[in-house]
Amino acid sequence: MQMRIKDYATLQAAVKNLTEHLATYGVEKEKVFDCKLVACELLGNVLKHGNGEGALYTEIENGFVLIRVTSENGFILPKEITCSDLLSEHGRGLYLVQTLCEGEIYSGEDGISVRIRIKK
């Protein structure tokens, strides 16, 4: 599945499509929720910090849901992802993503590029 994201309306449409896509493959509801949370956090970061459009790519592969998010206007991810304050309104998104997923989070040539594995 591939979708372009340019605003919060297209982000919501992408998450809805992601949910339907994962359901057709029989992904458990709990894991679908994890995937939706990861997609929302990453795409929200693209819209808030990337100052441009982004894209969501997902596929099912070898018992994992692979999620990749790119941004046209890049920004650098922190070298270390931590959650400094549980009650803070900022700085928890990447920590949540890292906690829920198996995989790597990195900056790439096409902006923020995240490829995350979530067990199916």
Can you give the pTM of this predicted structure?
A: 0.83
pLDDT for residue 56: 92
Lowest-pLDDT range, 8-12, 56-60, 103-107? 103-107
What number is the average pLDDT over the span 99-118?
70
pLDDT for residue 12: 96
Q: Give the contacts of 112 (CB within 8 A, at least 6 positions apart).
A: 42, 45, 46, 50, 54, 69, 70, 71, 74, 75, 77
Three-point CA angle 58, 60, 63, nearest 5°: 140
Query: When comparing pLDDT for 30 and 88, which is higher?
Result: 30
pLDDT of 48 strictly over 90: no
Q: Do 116 and 66 contact (CB within 8 A), yes or no?
A: yes
CATH of residue 33's domain is 3.30.565.10
- Candidate ranges 26-30, 75-79, 81-85; pick with highest mean pLDDT: 26-30
Query: When comparing pLDDT for 88 and 99, which is higher?
Result: 99
The length of the chain in residues reads 120
Burial (CB < 10 A; 0-12, 13-18, 19+), residue 116, is: buried
Per the structure, how many domains does the chain have?
1
Q: Do 40 and 92 contact (CB within 8 A), yes or no?
A: no
Task: Quote the domain boundaries for residue 61.
Answer: 2-119
Measured CA distances, 3 to 28, 55, 81, 114 (Å): 22, 6, 27, 15
